[in-house]
Amino acid sequence: MFPDRVVSGMRPTGLMHLGHYHGALKNWIRMQSELPCLFFVADWHALTTHYDDPTIIEKSTWDMVIDWLAAGIDPAQATIFIQSKVPEHAELHLLLSMATPLGWLERVPTYKDQIENLANRDLATYGFLGYPLLQAADVLIYRATQVPVGEDQVPHIEMMREIARRFNHLYGKEPGFEQKALEAVKKLGSKRAKLYAELRTAYQQDGDDAALEQAQAMLDEAGSLSNIDRERLFGYLEGSRKIILVEPQVKLTEASRLPGLDGRKMSKSYGNSISLREDPESVTKKIRTMPTDPARVRRSDAGDPLKCPVWQLHEVYSDADTKDWVMKGCTSAGIGCLECKQPVVDAVLAEQEPMHERAQQYVDDPSLVRAIVADGCEKARKLAQETMRDVREAMGLSYT
| Residue 121 near residue 1 (C-beta atoms within 8 A) | no
Q: Are strands 37-41 and 78-82 parallel, antiparallel or unpaired?
A: parallel
* Mean pLDDT computed over every residue of the chain: 90
Would you place residue 400 in the very low, low, confident or very high pLDDT band (cuts 50, 70, 90)?
low
High-pLDDT (> 90) share of the chain, %:
63
Tens-place pLDDT, residues 200-252: 998 888 888 899 899 989 998 888 888 788 888 988 887 767 789 999 999 88
What is the average pLDDT across 254-273?
A: 83
Number of CB atoms found within 10 A of residue 289's CB? 10
| E strand map for the chain | 6-10, 37-41, 78-82, 146-149, 249-252
Which residue ranges make up the annotated binding site?
Answer: 11-13, 19-20, 138, 150-152, 258, 265-269
Confidence at residue 15, expressed as pLDDT on a 0 to 100 scale: 86
Query: What per-residue confidence (pLDDT) applies to 253?
Result: 75
pLDDT band for 155, please (50, 70, 90 cuts): confident
DSSP codes joined into one string, 190-258:
HHHHHHHHHHHHHHHHH--HHHHHHHHHHHHH-TTS-HHHHHHHHHHHHSSS---S--PEEEE------
For the segment 31-53, the average pLDDT, to the nearest whole number, is 91
* In the predicted structure, residue 56 carries a pLDDT above the cut 60: yes
Is 90 exceeded by the pLDDT of residue 330?
yes
SS3 at position 400: coil
Q: Give the residue numbers of the binding site for L-tryptophan.
A: 138
- Could you give phi then psi for residue 149, rounded to 5 degrees? -145, 165
Give 7's pLDDT tier (boundaries 50, 70, 90): very high
- Statement: residue 273 has pLDDT above 90: yes
**Distance between CA atoms of residues 71 and 67, nearest Å:** 6
Going across the sheet that includes 6-10, the strands are 78-82, 37-41, 6-10, 146-149, 249-252
Examine the pLDDT at 188 and tell me if it is beyond 80: yes
Helix (H, G, I), strand (E, B) or coil at 113: helix
Measured between alpha carbons, how far is 12 from 42 in angstroms, rounded to an integer? 7
Q: From the annotation, which residues make up the binding site for ATP?
A: 11-13, 19-20, 150-152, 258, 265-269
The number of CA neighbours under 13 Å toward the Cβ of 263 is 10
pLDDT digits over 96-120, tens only?
A: 999 998 888 888 776 666 656 566 6
As a whole number, mean pLDDT of residues 9-27 equals: 91
184 within 8 A of 229, measured Cβ to Cβ:
yes
Quick check: 40 pLDDT over 80? yes
Instruction: Give the E-state strand segments of 58-128 in sequence order.
Output: 78-82
Q: What is the pLDDT of residue 111?
A: 63
**pTM to 2 decimal places:** 0.83
Q: Rounded mean pLDDT of 297-322?
A: 92
Strands 6-10 and 78-82: unpaired
Range of weakest confidence among 112-121, 167-176, 180-189, 388-397: 112-121
